[in-house]
Chains A and B, each alone.
Chain A
Amino acid sequence: GAGVSQSPSNKVTEKGKDVELRCDPISGHTALYWYRQSLGQGLEFLIYFQGNSAPDKSGLPSDRFSAERTGGSVSTLTIQRTQQEDSAVYLCASSSASGRYTQYFGPGTRLTVL
């Protein structure tokens, strides 16, 4: 079956512009996660959705970052007024439940802020 998909695969933007990153999870997966990997850093948790609710937003680095999930499916991560330090690979993962269940990752969106 189809895996997790993300779009765009690459995004180059200018400092100060807003960007939207999209994640399509595996059908039926209730849990959805966003992570990012900045250059030279490990994978960093950003936000977790259970259904359409986000009980854990603790990893969002600033109020310029927001995310939503609609219909218990697609999720969008929005970064407003992008900064160069936002450059990273943004990964989305979904899971049929949470915690003790495998998270299936998408291919990521490579964001470059000039």
Chain B
Amino acid sequence: ILNVEQSPQSLHVQEGDSTNFTCSFPSSNFYALHWYRWETAKSPEALFVMTLNGDEKKKGRISATLNTKEGYSYLYIKGSQPEDSATYLCAFATDSWGKLQFGAGTQVVVTP
């Protein structure tokens, strides 16, 4: 059974501060790494799909990096806003079928 681990489990951030958190995954059989944002009572929203070692992706104030050799990805939020409050999920794919193994998520709470 593959293990995708995310840390921390939760974090509280002051509005305007930047933050980052980690997704760890097995470095073998890597195919793709997905990041999603899931707000309460909404559908998970896709942020990034990362496939190459060294990939860096950016969407507004959110960015992510990928290290497939050591098996980790970081997600960064710059200048956090209350609307960034959500659970951030990473998910690991080992083959082209796209079956995703999800981490438990990092819950981010941004307070004004």
Tell me if A65 is interfacial: C-beta within 8 Å of chain B: no
- Which 9 pairs, one residue from A and one from B, show the smallest C-beta to C-beta distance? A98-B98, A43-B102, A99-B96, A99-B98, A42-B104, A105-B43, A102-B46, A105-B44, A100-B32
With A and B bound together, what is the CA distance between A97 and B97 in angstroms?
8
Are B98 and A31 in contact, with the CB atoms below 8 A?
A: yes
Tier of interface size on chain B:
20 to 34
Of A48-56, A68-76, A80-88, which binds chain B? A48-56
Residues of B within 8 A of A99 (CB): 31-32, 93, 95-98
Scoring A residues 25 to 49 as 1 if CB is less than 8 Å from chain B, else 0, what string do you get?
0000001010100000111110010
Q: B49 to nearest A CB, angstroms?
A: 6
Taking the complex as formed, is A16 at the interface, i.e. its CB lies under 8 A from any CB of chain B?
no
Does the CB pair B43–A56 fall under 8 Å? Answer: no
Residue of B nearest to A6 (CB): B43
Per-residue CB contact flags for chain B residues 83-112 toward chain A (1 = under 8 Å, else 0) read: 000000101010111111111110000000
Known: A43-B89, A107-B43. A33 touches B100 (CB 8 A): yes
| A4 at interface by CB-CB < 8 Å | yes
- The answer on a CB contact under 8 Å between A33 and B46 is no
Cβ of B98: which chain A residues have Cβ within 8 Å of it?
31, 33, 48, 95, 97-101, 103
> Given A42-B105, A43-B91: A103 and B100 within 8 A (CB)?
yes
Assess whether A48 is in contact with B46, with CB atoms less than 8 Å apart. no
A-B contact pairs, 11 of them (CB 8 A): A33-B99, A42-B104, A42-B105, A99-B32, A99-B93, A100-B49, A100-B93, A103-B100, A105-B45, A107-B42, A108-B43
A98 lies within 8 A of B46 (CB): no
Query: Shortest CB–CB separation between residue A31 and chain B, in angstroms?
Result: 6
- Tell me if B105 and A50 are in contact (CB < 8 A): no
Q: Are B49 and A101 in contact (CB under 8 A)?
A: yes
